[in-house]
Amino acid sequence: MSGFEAHLAADVTTLCHCWRLNLRDGTVLGFTDHDRTLEFNGTTFAPESGLSASEARSSLGLTSDVVDVTGALSAVDITEADIVAGRYDGADVETYLVNWQAADEHRLLRKAVIGRITRKDGQFTAELEGLQAKLDETAGRTVRRSCDAELGDARCRFALGASHKASGTLVEMKGDTAIVSSLGSHADGWFTGGIVTWTSGAAAGRRERVELHRRNGSRSELKLWRETAAPVAGGDTFTVVAGCDKSFSTCRDKFSNVKNFQGFPHLPGNDAAYGYATESQEHDGRPLVP
């Protein structure tokens, strides 16, 4: 029996949980629900985060189990700005059960991936999704009428020219709408569905989807999809590319790129599938077309 197993079998135990976060950028962070710093496996687990975990459940089969981890936002460890910027999205998390009197005595309980993160009243709650959650992800392509490529990517193969791009400067941010300098003579909606890339300021390098583009006098308004909002301020510069609603008509009329359309525009729908059914026709399983 190992030292840790002997400790678990004792009448009195000194146990805590530790979490090791492996971010996509290679950063490794350690946190614990104990009240002092612990170290093992080359990682330091900080106690200041105030992390606590919900009840853990493990199910047989392929059902994906989810555990919530709650903690306090801080200026040192887990900040709201990093969460908003998506720094923790998809990070790998290892959960350990540790004897805090002898941190070398520990056991890996589970490996998970950070899913949805919510923030409220200075705290965050992160869902730790089991590895089985990957089985719920769509693999391969989905047969549908609309295109599933991104404008200008390797599958779309459309060459974005100067007329399909613009650059500008943010004047001010009103909620999720960016009031920006003029984007040239582009008509309303030209950049709807496009991508804004910030080129200066705290959000430099971040990309955001444009929900709606409209002109407003000498300026333009870009309503952005702000779920992972980047921190921006007046004077920040950006570039924006034309939007595509993924329909066959837009691909044909706006971009003249139908030969590379990555959808199935002539796919029959339910109306075609049930169009043959009539009260006067006998449906006995024989072919409808001889």
* pLDDT tens for each residue of the chain, 290 residues long: 578 999 999 999 999 989 898 988 888 988 888 889 999 999 999 886 655 655 444 444 444 455 666 655 554 567 777 777 777 888 888 889 999 999 999 999 888 888 777 777 767 777 777 766 666 667 778 888 899 999 999 999 999 988 899 999 999 998 889 999 888 888 889 999 999 999 998 888 888 899 999 988 889 999 998 755 668 889 999 999 999 999 999 999 999 999 999 999 888 776 666 666 667 777 777 765 54
**Statement to judge: residues 94 and 20 lie in one domain:** yes
Same domain for 130 and 20: yes
Same-domain pairing of 169 and 131 = no
Phi, psi of 3 (to 5 degrees): -60, -35
Same domain, yes or no: 16 and 111: yes
Sign for the pseudo-dihedral over CA of 244, 245, 250, 252: positive
The answer on 168 and 128 residing in a single domain is no
Please give the radius of gyration of the chain, using alpha carbons only, rounded to the nearest integer: 27
- The DSSP 8-state label assigned to residue 31 in this structure reads E
Q: Is residue 61 part of a domain?
A: yes
Domain that holds residue 225: 162-260
User: Within a domain: residue 232?
Assistant: yes
For residue 136, which of 55, 87, 65 has the smallest C-alpha distance? Answer: 65
- Is 12 a domain residue? yes
- Note whether 67 and 128 are within 8 A (CB): yes
pTM > 0.95: yes or no: no
First to last CA, the chain: 76
Residue with tokens 């490529």: 149
Determine the 3-state secondary structure of 63 from DSSP. coil
Q: State whether 108 and 7 are in the same domain.
A: yes
In a domain, 231, yes or no: yes
- 185 with 103, same domain: the answer is no
Rounded Cα distance between 261 and 248, Å, is 7
Domain count, the chain: 2
